[in-house]
Structure 1
């Protein structure tokens, strides 16, 4: 609900539940018919997880609804500004199968050292000490996803400028650049690229973004911001960001050259 009115996303969720019940099926029976888990069917009907287009295609077929739910997703839900199933960044991270990440402003959070992250949060003295500690703890805990049972495949593009900008002192920057080079060399599911500062203007410089592919097949994007972040799943938005990603990746150095640059940066700060 938003402003006292039901959103299209909430209406879709409610109609999915009603259609299943009219058929006389339990969530387990629907799950069996569409070859998904009962827990996923439950999460969709509770508005905890967005239904992928493929999921709705199978539901439409199983319930003989003539493609109604697929059309609702494509034509109505995409217009919602407040979808019921917004996940939040940590949930996206935990559910991700693959991440494509660009940040022209800082080292991406997944790869920040504790000292670098602390310096970012303490910059300007805007945040209270307890808020700095809360954010720092959250940042460090989020990195565990890289070392869990099912780490996502991560391709990250960094701009060279943040690697040259002093954050927290020379040792902090030296350690951060060395950490990036080490991850890029040793982690089997992480690939890092660097765009040299001498590269020409490219569209990704408009701001940081992440493209995520989740384990349930959903595709979405996350835009960073001064106050929280913004989640996007409209096809038009994803298509635009994918184009921006391709252009940016094309402007970046290949992995081996990027690692050499990271080592060079680390040496310059030592």
Structure 2
């Protein structure tokens, strides 16, 4: 690694800088988004979404870009630097379990789940904590985007996410692109999204978000978020309770096709993306 890249690594550069470099490297070679996409086997719309931050920039994309642009591993190195080690200590055991998992189950009553967040949405959520310096926000955004590599790896886990409709109806400007991204995620064959409609009224899931993962040995572990961080759940009885509650919220959620139709309806209210 060059001294320049080592310095960037130590500085834990922000993710937008990596996207700027991606655009710059492409422009230096007088290559349009259409031509780059054709060579890399991506659509022009995907290339545009990655470069503008509405779609995550992951390591496979960076590696392919380095090959197409002959940039000597620059983009991959910068992305690894940006991703750094931004997850809080209390969340690292879950991230490791997530990477090793065969099945993922989660429910979110208020927010879009982290694995489905766009870069802009994740940044907006993290900025809600006004005690975080901007550098730490960017580092956590990059790390969150890095987690999403499991969605597109060669053998991805089966993912079933249940989201309360209220999380989809936030009025922030970023919601249009976020909902469009959620619909793209729903097209993946191993991703299943169900929405609990507002008409369901009060339900057990409103007690808070939960996440569950089945490891390679068939055992389940869980994770609960709260205001001060999060807690891993491994005791058999507690995991069984979380599984029962997850089944409860999925049981009152709309089927996949109706859930996707509802997301499309809400997304259409934000205008063209």
TM-score by length of 2: 0.64
- Matched residue of 1:191: which SS? strand
Once residues 228 and 95 of structure 1 are traced to their aligned partners in structure 2, the CA distance between those partners, rounded to angstroms, is: 22
Deviations 1:64-118 (A, max 9, x none): xxxxxxxxxxxxxxxxxxxxxx961210111110011101121000000111111
Q: 2:122 aligns with which of 117, 124, 147?
A: 117
Instruction: State the 1:188 CA deviation.
Output: 0.9
Residue of structure 2 equivalent to 1:158: 163
Residue of structure 1 equivalent to 2:249: 248
1:217-228 counterparts in 2 under 5 A? 217-228=218-229
- Matched residue of 1:198: which SS? helix
Instruction: State the 1:218 CA deviation.
Output: 2.3
- Matched residue of 2:102: which SS? strand
Instruction: State the 1:213 CA deviation.
Output: 0.1
Q: 1:143 aligns with which of 140, 148, 151?
A: 148
Deviations 1:35-66 (A, max 9, x none): xxxxxxxxxxxxxxxxxxxxxxxxxxxxxxxx
1:32-47 counterparts in 2 under 5 A? none
Residue of structure 1 equivalent to 2:103: 98
Between Structure 1 and Structure 2, whose CA radius of gyration is higher?
A: 1
What is the aligned residue count? 181
1:226-245 counterparts in 2 under 5 A? 226-245=227-246
Once residues 145 and 226 of structure 1 are traced to their aligned partners in structure 2, the CA distance between those partners, rounded to angstroms, is: 26
Once residues 204 and 237 of structure 1 are traced to their aligned partners in structure 2, the CA distance between those partners, rounded to angstroms, is: 15
Instruction: State the 1:234 CA deviation.
Output: 1.2
Residue of structure 2 equivalent to 1:183: 185
Instruction: State the 1:155 CA deviation.
Output: 0.2
- Matched residue of 2:269: which SS? helix
Report the aligned-residue RMSD.
1.5
Instruction: State the 1:206 CA deviation.
Output: 0.5
TM-score by length of 1: 0.64
Runs of 5+ consecutive residues of structure 1 not aligned to the other structure: 1-85
Residue of structure 2 equivalent to 1:210: 211
Change (3 A) 1:87 1:179: closer
Runs of 5+ consecutive residues of structure 2 not aligned to the other structure: 1-90
Change (3 A) 1:182 1:87: closer
Once residues 266 and 151 of structure 2 are traced to their aligned partners in structure 1, the CA distance between those partners, rounded to angstroms, is: 24
Instruction: State the 1:148 CA deviation.
Output: 1.0
Once residues 100 and 221 of structure 2 are traced to their aligned partners in structure 1, the CA distance between those partners, rounded to angstroms, is: 12
Instruction: State the 1:157 CA deviation.
Output: 0.2
Once residues 249 and 197 of structure 2 are traced to their aligned partners in structure 1, the CA distance between those partners, rounded to angstroms, is: 11
Instruction: State the 1:149 CA deviation.
Output: 2.0
Once residues 92 and 185 of structure 2 are traced to their aligned partners in structure 1, the CA distance between those partners, rounded to angstroms, is: 28
Deviations 1:12-54 (A, max 9, x none): xxxxxxxxxxxxxxxxxxxxxxxxxxxxxxxxxxxxxxxxxxx
